[in-house]
Chains A and B, each alone.
Chain A
Amino acid sequence: MVWIKGDKMSNLVKLLGRDEYLLSGNPSCPGCGLALGLRYALKALGKNTIMIVPASCTSIVLGPVPTSSVKIPVLNIAFAAAAATASGMSEALDILGKKNINVLVWAGDGGTVDIGLQGLSGAAERNNNFIYICYDNEAYMNTGIQRSGSTPKGAWTTTTPRGKKRSKKNIPFIMIEHRIPYVATASIAFPQDFILKLKRAREVKGLRYIHLHTPCPPGWKYPSDKTIEVARLAVLTGAWVLFEMHRGIFKLTGPSIRLIEKKYRKNIEEYLKIQGRFKGISKKMIEDISKDIDENWRYLKEKFLDNNRK
């Protein structure tokens, strides 16, 4: 399915720009979702960016000493420490008078929703000034596909061989409750949506949080050419919601706008059957997953969408 046509494409090319900040020939897997996400993110933020990377797949994608695969300064840091490091760095740059430098945390789901949550929550409460992008490949991929708090219900991982029983931790909603100035979700299948959000976020002061869906071929067990298709289906089935919470106003974006109506959402089985990690899941589990998605939409309508209109 083609979402962008004709001359809109040339605008999109202009929006992304021709400069590549993520250099080819890096250690990422073929078809890696996070690599594409990083390529987009750095195009949106540009060269005045310092990136902080906690332990994650990206730590390897950055390349071994002495060659780096990104054209911006990067500080590698310990697994739990990304948000706190960014707090220190952003305050330091500010007091040193180095304005207009984006401090970006590029962290995986493990380093955000599990071991990194304390640091992220602290930084959010203090509203430190940096952009935090969590790229969600829904498991601890770098260490060999173990489950994280962000692994969806029913998914196979090496530590949940019969499928994860609990639902995914809803970090974007938790970040909204921290009352930071900008929270959004995005998907690599919808680059225009992601990049425009990032460009808007760049102009906001305070903690900006973006949760990016980045499928992983070896971890989700699908052939590498389907990465975009998988990411797209996640959105079109309503499993992954695209939204933006900015200046206190919550809105759905892109294809998610009309998916508030259940009838427009594709059947969740389309999304599940394309991925080997959901192979052999029971009818009951599919029903549970479907119910969870409906419940998630109901909750966000009641809690966030309807509150806007008040």
Chain B
Amino acid sequence: MNIVPLAYPQKGSAKKTGYWRIFRPKINYEKCIKCMICWLYCPEGSISIINNKPVIDYDYCKGCGICANECPVKAIEMVKE
């Protein structure tokens, strides 16, 4: 233990916040137009762009639903956990 209270950067400072979810966002890749608006507006940064596709990290996604609400083609559905 340091004599001074220091904290070092690490994912999951509130542990696996995926456990907070009541609804989980599901991306329908058929409808997805790869505009990346979901990645843009995710407050958690839990959507990554992998192979030009948005991919959700369910370990940390809190299920807020912003991505589903903002998706211009309604390709994201909030499904009950």
A residues near B, CB below 8 A?
Answer: 2, 4-6, 9-10, 12-13, 16, 18, 20, 22-33, 35-36, 39, 62-71, 191, 217, 223-229
Contact = CB atoms under 8 A, between A and B. Distances in A.
A22 B44 CA distance: 8
A6 B35 contact: yes
A146 to B, nearest CB: 23
B64 A225 contact: yes
B16 to A, nearest CB: 7
A224 B7 contact: no
A30 B64 contact: yes
Given A2-B72, A228-B70, A68 B43 contact: no
Contacts of B57: 24
B interface majority secondary structure: loop
A65 B64 contact: no
Nearest to B46: A24
Q: Which 5 pairs show the lowest CB-CB distances between chains A and B? A: A63-B13, A225-B65, A25-B12, A31-B64, A30-B64
B45 A224 contact: no
A46 B11 CA distance: 18
Given A31-B66, A35-B44, A228-B69, A70 B9 contact: yes
Interface of B: 5-17, 20, 35-37, 39-46, 49, 57, 59-60, 62-66, 68-70, 72, 78
Residue among A4, A65, A225 with max Cβ neighbours from chain B (10 Å): A225
Contacts of B63: 30
A12 B40 contact: yes
Contact of B20 (A10, A22, A30, A62): A30
A25 B37 CA distance: 20
A116 B64 CA distance: 31
A226 B60 contact: no
A64 B9 contact: no
Contact of A25 (B5, B17, B39, B43): B17
Contacts of A23: 9-13, 45
B11 A25 contact: yes
A221 to B, nearest CB: 15
